[in-house]
Structure 1
Amino acid sequence: MDDYTKPGFYVDSTAPNVLEFARIHGQGNTLREKAINLFCAVRDGFRYDPYHIIFEQEEFKASVRLTRDSGFCIHKAIILTAVARAAGIPARLAFADVRNHLNTKRLRDLVQTDVFHYHGITELFLDGRWLKVTPAFNIELCEKFGVRPLDFDGTADCILHQYDMRGNRHMEYLKFHGSYADFPYELVHRDFVRSYPAMFAAEEAGAKDDFDFAQEAEEENKQRLANEGI
């Protein structure tokens, strides 16, 4: 259990700004209450952005991500894992391959698939067991997509919904990759380079500078509703 309470290179839970975030947002009389408050703070305090990903090691440190206003699922899982440890909650990272039915056309074109590897998850040890939670999608983005935001009650897993609010398929978990005390940068970077070459090419060319995932989600959801006569 010690590995899940002490700081790592990426899960740098003793960094001053990580400790400060945990102090401000992780208030509560029990570890469960602290975990719920930290989950909400990470979920909604950082916009989900799958486009502007800089694959440099420093960019995956929790203390660095706290200075940004956005991130993708791995960034946000690293933040939550770090601030949970800072609040005295054993925490670790986990990863899964998922099929996401509610992405956007631009994102599908960029990654050339609807299967996303190494979706980031935080596992929190509460009341004697590990719970999986995903703080990836902020409330505003969920509303634009027509998806219920995830609510964590501290007693059960809180992972992305299988269906949206209209009963359409949303997320399928295909393969779990296990749990990690710290972020396996080399493993994930190697997989992403192999699986998503067009994404890295676009990053190098600066082609993603004006991409806005939330705006795309809102526009496509409006079109979807219009097509369904809603």
Structure 2
Amino acid sequence: MNIDPFSLYCTPTFFINSDHEKIIAFSARHAGPSDNPVKKAVSIFYAVRDQIRYDPYKIPNHQEGFKASRVLAEGKGFCVSKAVLLAACLRAQSIPARLGFANVKNHLTTPKLREKMGTDLFEWHGYTDIFLEEKWVKATPTFNLSLCQNFGVLPLEFNGREDSVFHPFDAKGQQHMEYVQDHGYFADLPWDRLMTAYRSAYPRYFESGGISGDFNAEAKELHPNK
């Protein structure tokens, strides 16, 4: 019997719960009327990018907090949780999607976040890998448009045919994001590996239970002319 090798990337999982009624509704609403998978994926990407606010101050320390349906309900998340949500919405439209991870050096952050993390190296940064037109393309829905404007960062666009990853430079040509180490691709969130790496790399962050504050507002204060 022939088994579709991509069925794994269309199947609901614990974290990528694409069969949740709210995920199905959100996905259908933003996929648009087209039957073209590329157009659907692009439309859903922008919905997740801009309607779910980026917030690295509240990384969940429990599994439920990473579920796509929870991220959607809260309306905010960090890179990994937004990638999980995007994957779930795509799978709800029968578009194969998986999670990719890499260590990245972030040259643009807030003093508060840098102090708690103790470094500008972000381990296990997450993005979504999507199978469209017979190839995999990377999509990074992390930074919502308003945050990019506050930070002076070029917003990441996605056309469904080319990789959408962090620009190496911000809007002023200053270094922004550098990929350091690739961790590969996963059909579901490797929660244990992710949290082991986070707790080892950022003990001060998790000892304090996260960070209080508004990351978006602080970005605007750092760049008042944006």
How far apart in 2 are the matches of 1:54 and 1:125? 28
Unpaired runs of 5+ residues, structure 2, are: 1-5
Counterpart in 2 of 1:17?
22
**Secondary structure of the residue that 1:159 maps to in structure 2?**
coil
Please name the residue that 2:7 is paired with.
2
Unaligned runs of 5+ in 1: none
Q: Give the C-alpha shift of residue 29 in structure 1.
A: 3.1
- SS of the residue corresponding to residue 165 of structure 1 reads coil
1:184: Cα distance to partner? 0.3
- Opposite residue 216 of structure 2, the aligned amino acid is A
1:69 & 1:32 partners in 2: Cα distance? 24
1:216 maps to what in 2?
Answer: 218
Residue 87 in 1 paired to residue 93 in 2? yes
Aligned CA-pair RMSD: 1.2
Residues 1:139 and 2:141 are matched in the alignment: no
Aligned to 1:72: 78
TM-score, scaled to structure 2: 0.95
| Residue aligned with 1:67, SS | helix
Give the CA deviation at 1:54: 2.0
Offset of residue 148 of structure 1: 1.2
Q: How many residues align?
A: 220
1:116 corresponds in structure 2 to 122
Structure 1 residue 63 corresponds to structure 2 residue 69: yes
**Where does structure 1 differ by over 3 angstroms across 4 or more consecutive aligned residues?**
none
Residue of structure 2 in register with 1:47 after alignment? 53
TM-score computed with the length of structure 1 as normaliser = 0.93
Measure how far apart 1:218 and its partner are: 1.2
1:150 aligns with 2:152: no
Corresponding residue for 2:109?
Answer: 103
2:3 matched to which residue of 1? none
